[in-house]
Structure 1
Amino acid sequence: MPMPTVAIVGRPNVGKSTLFNRLVGRKLALVDDRPGVTRDRREGEARLGHLLFTIIDTAGLEEADSESLAGRMRAQTEAAIAEADAVLFVIDARAGLLPADQPFAELVRRADKPVILLANKAEGGAGLAGAYEAFGLGLGDPVPVSAEHGEGMGQLLDALAEVLPEPDEAEDEAGGDRPLKVAIVGRPNAGKSTLINRMLGENRLLVGPEAGITRDSISLDWEWRGRRIKLHDTAGMRRRARVDDKLEKLAVSDGLRAVRFAEVVVVLLDATIPFEKQDLTIVDLVEQEGRALVIGLNKWDLVADQPGLLKELKEKAARLLPQVRGAAVVPLSGLAGNGIDRLMQAVVAAFEVWNRRVPTARINQWLSEAVQANPPPAISGRRIKIRYATQVKARPPHFALFGNQLNVLPKSYTRYLVNGLRDTFDLPGVPIRLSLRTSKNPFDKGE
């Protein structure tokens, strides 16, 4: 099972590679005073205090044409941000905040990932004025560090411990006996706490008819059919426009954190009023965070007498949620305790799909047939050529496509490929990532 991933991001020459080497404990990254020395992403296994995680060192973000080297470096960095569980955004405290930091702070902010702002080169208190300038980025309190001298690592550890899985989970992961992390989310009053109480067989959570009784995300250990499960009950997530008091804002962000730390998310709908706009927004969030999805239709006992309703709701799910097509839709009643076993079977099946890896040879056999059946269009008289594909990672399944002019591949054709991957390799109910990379096929000699 992979460890959490942290990306180091910032403009050139702020000390990202030095920080990478400090965290990895050996000099894997090339360090030089010239900006832009790191051209590619480098990954290493990092340890800081009790935390273990994969660290990605990225090239300095440059605003440049996507075909240029700097543009490709930027694309690599954007991909690293997309794949990371948390981002370390590094500025040079001695140089202070520069105009070049701003657009990239915006890029990190848009990614909607936990961000830790690091003011590097602040050794001996030098550059503290520059560190305070970083407040202006709107990325929270800067952590002053010196990657070169190892100062501020304790503060960095505290900041990372807040956004990465708890130490016992990291140890479980390293030992291979790790609980399956499941978050149960949904609109207020969908019956999340009632369902979890029924699963646990005891009244562990406060329940009542008032919407929004659960204020924070609660983590509970449970066992189902001999399998360890870590359940997260979350506060009901309302539309942001209706989140006005500070406590509610904290509850919503806690719900988002539970989604990020989960592997499978059960989006619980009220079967009497399913697929409201907020339900669809929550599913979008789960998809954006790359988690496996199961849809639970709670309070099914109130509508079970309506013939054909389940079929109708499954068709509605397929139509309204194409980005997670094939997600299991499970009728249940938290109050009566019906359907919980079916729900957990769907959760485990979704987890297996989320972890699935497809051999490269099978992917390319499919690709060849898909392109033959429906060739990519020609752009300005020149046909887009797709050379080969491979799976770069799982959790969720992420594929890379190599060829020429892929930057102008129409969205409709990308959708065609994603749907083909989903159907051919049986990947229902999980987000599928597809990266387009302009590159020569290393197997095509002389091309």
Structure 2
Amino acid sequence: MDQGNTAFVLICAALVLLMTPGLAFFYGGLVKAKSVISMMMMSFGALGLIGVLWVLYGYAIAFSNGGTDTFVGIDGVIGIDTANLGLQGLLTTPEGALFPPLAFAAFQATFAIITVALISGAIADRAKFGSWLIFAGIWATVVYFPVASWVFNFTLGDGGVVDGGWIAYNVGAIDFAGGTAVHINAGAAALALALVLGKRVGFGKGVHVPHNPPFVLLGAGLLWFGWFGFNAGSELAADGIAALAFINTVAAPAAAVLGWLVVEKLKDGKATSVGAASGAVAGLVAITPACANVTPLWAIVLGLVAGVVCALAIELKFKLGFDDSLDVVGIHLVGGLIGTLYLGFFATDVGLVFSGTFDQLGKQAIAAFTVLIYSFVLSYAIGWVIQKTIGFRVRNEDEIAGIDTTVHGEEGYVLDRI
């Protein structure tokens, strides 16, 4: 066992786990002051629930192996390795392994947690906490765990990967760290839930403004810090590819900040702190699938494109009439699509500008839109059933009063009582 690689994977897992509290601050600062506890609790609720489900059966679905006697399902599409329920099959390290299987399971657990937490931004200010947890558990089970298997699952042989999830292995799409499985997946689910829950009271441009931009900047900084574990850690080894992913995780979001701020300045006359934070996240989203397959110069170009396009895309909710509260669709769905499709043009060796063919672009499009459609349809169905049965949205009067007190019995700010 390589102790260096083991340490690398475990440290990267800790970095990715930090992204969920970072997201809580990022989202918490964007909502109104009367919803900050509710918003942050949706991230922490996802952390608790998905962390448990991953150990119980999530890993067994996402990394099922059709070649084992304990496998039940359709190889490469969906299945479960019953031997890995409760991670029981991972308690010993095979001879010659670079790191313990439990280290990899821990790393991937943090991906599952942050993906679910991302969705919550679309339903800020108006969702019941219990209904959110029910949705999160069902969605992780029938959407995230299978999609993670399509993208991240693999079987190693003497010559490298010999089998795996159908998107990565059969289709041949490139998604190094989760542009499809994480961002397109979460963004499509966010759009579905925004449609199910409907618009906030008084929804309109300029009506709902961030109550705490310093929280937003803090959250974006924590997300960026954790994202190094997300992208570089996906190499599962401290080597040159991890270093490339690392520097691209610097370059792309930095360029996206500039692109977003230029759009803000031209459109509104001011470059804002929230815009800088949002631009950084947009660049991080876009580079996620591409971080190990583009050069740093092409990463800068990708970041600029993502910053500009996502800054414009967040206006779509006002034009199309859906209330994606914190722009999960405009940043994660659009940014994920940009990063995934960008590889069809600029992926080293196989992109259009290097190979002269659209072959890789076709593979990227299949991966992106398959995940988008699958996630949207199932997310809408799950959300609709919850809304029609136990109810997903709080009452309008509770939303106006502030759901921190009505749902959690707490307030984010009580300085006037000290």
TM class by shorter chain equals under 0.3
| TM-score, scaled relative to structure 1 | 0.24
The structure where helix makes up a greater share of residues is: 2
The structure where strand makes up a greater share of residues is: 1
